[in-house]
Structure 1
Amino acid sequence: MDQTTVVLVPMYNEASVVGTVVAELREHFATIVCVDDGSSDDSASVARTAGALVLRHPVNLGQGAALQTGFDLLSRRPGTGLTVTFDADGQHRVADAVAMVEASRRTGVDVLLGSRALGSTTDQPLARRLLLAAALRYSRWSTGLALTDTHNGLRVLSRRAIGAIRLRQPGMAYATELESAITQSRLSWAEHPTTIAYTEYSRRKGQSNLNAFNIVYDLTSQRLRSAL
């Protein structure tokens, strides 16, 4: 049982799956922190019953805001070593998280990003594949990082990284913003193979293709504000 790594799980209306996700994580990691982003269902109580520490937003602010709430807590929490970000919808494998923590400790890298391109996906819809390919091109262009994957919710971050990263985009644009912060804060990084398992549930909960335009708009608007 890993006593120093904390797994950070943002969640929004995930009551039907988050209990299983937390229980499986608890087999390997002692501390699971779920940030309930204004859920209208019983996500918070289900996660707490499964053994997670639960933080709550009174209203839905978006996944980026949920992660930043967790980063703020963990950057001040004594004894926190590595932080794993892990989606609540069940599409990640706990075995991948364990392997990535081991790789992070072995290499000392600040940010280890999960990559389905280096690993595999199961039952990925064609529309999602095309959307992610476009998002990857945009992320490479905007961050300067030679990524093979983007918007993969499985990552391992050092204490230095969570202290340096400030996510200002509340929604899904946070993923590219996080990648940009790697360059801006001169954090060391690498990628690690992961498996993404698309289920009927995760496909239903995932980003719509229209949301891709919202992501680009949010990031472009932020760049323009920074330039003024």
Structure 2
Amino acid sequence: MTNYTNIKETERPGLLGPRSTGIVAVIPAFNEERFIASVVFTTLQFADKVIVVDDGSSDRTASLAEKAGAMVVRQPLNMGKAQALNAGFKAARRLENVAVVVCLDGDAQHDARDIPAVVAPVLAEEADVVIGSRFLDIKSDIPAWRQVGQHTLTTVTNIASGVHTTDSQSGFRAFSPAAVEALHFTSTDLSVESEMQFLFRPAGLRVVEAPVNVQYLDGNKRNPMIHGLQVLDALLSLVARRRPLMFFSLPGLVSTLIGLLLSVYLVHTMMVSGNLPVGLAVLVAFLVSGGITVGVTGIVLHSMHKFAERVDQDVRQSLSIYLERVTN
């Protein structure tokens, strides 16, 4: 994966002028009245349009975002970041002449001055997705416990998705129009960034990273340990859905092989001593039967997942053809 580390902050490849929508920023936000106005204001210095998706906030997030100059998309309920991004992408698709869509969080942790560096590879047509990595060139004061947790989640995501990044959980990302069209998120939990990584390769999207700074102004909204475990749980559930062969069949195969090897030792022991080691026999039966069951489960889930992907692709293709006919 290419890493973009030599782009100066003063370079501004965006702001393509009044004739083009150019750079569109999508900011999902839930109860971010403390920061959202300043986030929108600073983002507008580096983007031609800002879309704030108010994810069912109970505070003044939406009104403050509008006053700061953003286009606001309102979700009736708190539906989660994945659905907020879907809504933001949908709004971006309706705009004309969009060159790149860049996503930031609404809590001011991302520095809008990094937008030019993040969108540059997309504008240069060298990438479809750019991930703003906090760990390519660490200049920010990131707590050690956060680094350990993020690296753990990134390692699991990299292994499971087959796509290598240094920061799988970064919400600071840029997308080409092709990527915006191709990506649709189904997560209902905290794993949307990891879900993206599973979608990049099947969609044929080129992915690079660019270094970004980060600041944590709002402290910890949640207990960091509990939040980390929740994200890990969501990630493992995602792996089970997206990679059932890896999550089920591979461990099942290992379990079966260990059981078969132990069965050889079991038979040898019986022949030598004339007695049946009951404990070992139970363990062998458990490993072999359990391994076969889990392995077959993975194969069945894999087949179901592939079938669902084909159905989804056919439905999207049919819908696209229908909409094209209607508009023409």
Q: TM-score scaled by structure 1?
A: 0.92
Shift in alpha-carbon separation, 1:13–1:227, aligned structure 2, 3 A: farther
- CA offset at residue 93 of structure 1? 1.0
2:151 corresponds in structure 1 to 133
Rate the CA distance shift 1:216–1:157 in 2: closer, same or farther, 3 A. Answer: same
CA distance in 2, matches of 1:37, 1:99: 28
Asked if the contact 2:160–2:239 (Cα under 8 Å) also holds between the matched residues in 1, the reply is: no
Selected match of 1:62 from 80, 87, 90: 80
SS of alignment partner, residue 13 of structure 1: coil
1:98-138 deviations in Å (ceiling 9; x for gaps): 22222322243111111111122533223222210110111
Q: Report the Cα offset of residue 92 of structure 1.
A: 0.8
The amino acid of 2:221's aligned partner reads R
Give the structure, 1 or 2, with the largest relative contact order (CA under 8 Å, sep 6 or more).
1
SS in 2 for 1:203: coil
Query: Structure 1 residue 203 and structure 2 residue 220: aligned?
Result: yes
CA shift, 1:171, in A, is 2.7
* Residues 25, 50 of structure 2: 8 Å contact kept: yes
Moved more, 99-108 or 174-183: 99-108
What is the RMSD computed on CA atoms of the aligned residues?
Answer: 1.9
Partner of 1:73: 91
After TM superposition, the structure 1 = structure 2 runs for residues 208-219 of structure 1, keeping only pairs within 5 Å, are 208-219=227-238
The structure carrying a bigger strand percent of its residues is 1
Change (3 A) 1:202 1:179: farther
CA contact (8 A) 1:18 1:90 kept: yes
User: Is 1:165–2:190 an aligned residue pair?
Assistant: no
- Which of 21, 26, 36 is residue 18 of structure 1 equivalent to? 36
| 96-105 or 159-168, larger mean C-alpha shift | 96-105
Describe the shift of the 1:65–1:218 C-alpha distance in structure 2 as closer, same or farther (beyond 3 A).
farther
- In the alignment, the residues of structure 2 paired with residue 151 and residue 206 of structure 1 have an alpha-carbon distance, to the nearest angstrom, of 17
Tell me by how many angstroms 1:28 deviates.
2.2
The percentage of aligned residue pairs carrying the same residue is: 27
Residue aligned with 1:60, SS: coil
**Structure 1 SS opposite 2:211:** strand
Query: Is the contact made by 1:22 and 1:52 (CA closer than 8 Å) also made in structure 2?
Result: yes
Q: Counterpart in 2 of 1:179?
A: 197
CA contact 1:120–1:196 (8 Å) conserved in 2: no
State the Cα distance separating 1:42 from its structure 2 match: 0.5
Q: Kindly provide the amino acid, as one letter, of the partner of residue 203 in structure 1.
A: N
Partner Cα separation in structure 2 for residue 166 and residue 227 of structure 1 = 21
Structure showing greater radius of gyration is 2
Q: Distance in 1 between matches of 2:222 and 2:66?
A: 22
Match of 2:128 among 110, 116, 122: 110
Q: Would the aligned equivalents of 1:61 and 1:171 in 2 still touch at CA under 8 Å?
A: no
Any idea what SS the aligned residue of 1:81 has? Answer: strand
The structure-2 alpha-carbon separation of the partners of 1:146 and 1:221, relative to structure 1 and needing over 3 Å to count, comes to: closer
Q: Following superposition of structure 1 onto structure 2, how do residues 93-104 of structure 1 map, counting pairs within 5 Å?
A: 93-104=111-122
Query: How many residues end up aligned between the 2 structures?
Result: 227
Query: Which whole-Å CA distance do the structure 1 matches of 2:91 and 2:155 have between them?
Result: 33
- Corresponding residue for residue 154 of structure 1: 172
For 1:74, what is the secondary structure of its paired residue? helix
Residue 219 of structure 1 aligns with an amino acid whose one-letter code is L
1:143 equivalent in structure 2: 161
User: What is the distance in 1 between the residues matched to 2:153 and 2:185?
Assistant: 18
Equivalent-residue separation in structure 1 for 2:201 and 2:145 (angstroms): 30
Which one is further off, 218-227 or 173-182? 218-227
Q: Which has the higher helix share?
A: 2
Change (3 A) 1:22 1:91: same
- The range that moved more, 91-100 or 206-215, is 206-215
